[in-house]
Amino acid sequence: MTRKIEKARVAVVTGGTRGIGASISETLHKFGYKVAATYMGNDKAAEEFKAKTGIEAVFKFDVADYEACAENIAKIEKQLGPVDVLVNNAGITRDCFLHKMTPKQWNEVLRTNLDSVFNMTQLVISGMRDRGFGRVVSISSINGLSGAMGQTNYAAAKAGIIGFSKSLALEVAAKGVTVNVIAPGYIDTDMVRAVDPSILEKIVAKIPVKKLGNAEGIARLVAFLADEHNGFTTGATFNVNGGQYLT
């Protein structure tokens, strides 16, 4: 069972003020981490998140922009200390069949969902290696494993996260740094609940457990992977999808 950490380590959660990211941020905060949550556009949601969780270290920037990431990682480390845990959670969708997809739709998704993982991880990995400790957890998706109609961009990015993480896990395994992936299925968030009820009903019907997942379950798994005593789990992809896609 994941327990409260022994020292106040610093955790950065991208896309950390809404949905799954907010639950991850709140859970890590409760376990004693000094959490910095990033977001891109929804100021109202960010303020509500701060009020609800008591997490004051909230940073607004575009994780697809390397220079913005570098600038804000420096701010976070000045305010909280060196980054021990990075959770790459930020993501967007621009769904469209490939024959109609524009370069803009492709590039926006690849930049936000995959380039951001490079940007944020590359900026903290040297420090983790030097200190002999680090945890990188990236949020992929069931659709990065199974594919999905209308999501060539999204599925490519989410599949890319898995290959990236396996390769990095090998590079840093001897340095006390672990790198893992969580691939959620359909989770009960505002985004999923916004789907037309008739469509959502069909989605749930295809899930063997016959219900949506919950964000706290994902957050608890992140906390397990981030635990300072869990140094033997690395290069793994955890499928959390209610049995909808088994590998």
**Residue 107 φ/ψ, nearest 5 degrees:** -65, -40
CA geometry: angle 3, 19, 219, nearest 5 deg: 15
Residue 19 CB partners (closer than 8 Å, separation 6+): 187, 189, 190, 191, 215
Residue 143 CB partners (closer than 8 Å, separation 6+): 151, 154, 155, 158
CA geometry: angle 140, 186, 109, nearest 5 deg: 45
| Coil/strand/helix, residue 237 | strand
**CA distances to 16, 71, 157, 170, 193 from 67, in Å:** 20, 6, 21, 27, 34
Q: 58 and 39 in contact (C-beta within 8 Å)?
A: yes
The letter for the amino acid at 91 is: G
| Catalytic position from the list 33, 39, 154, 186 | 154
**Structure letter (DSSP) for residue 126:** H
Task: Using alpha carbons, select from 46, 237, 16 the residue that is nearest to residue 120.
Answer: 16
Q: Decide if 66 is catalytic.
A: no
Q: Which residues are the active-site residues?
A: 154
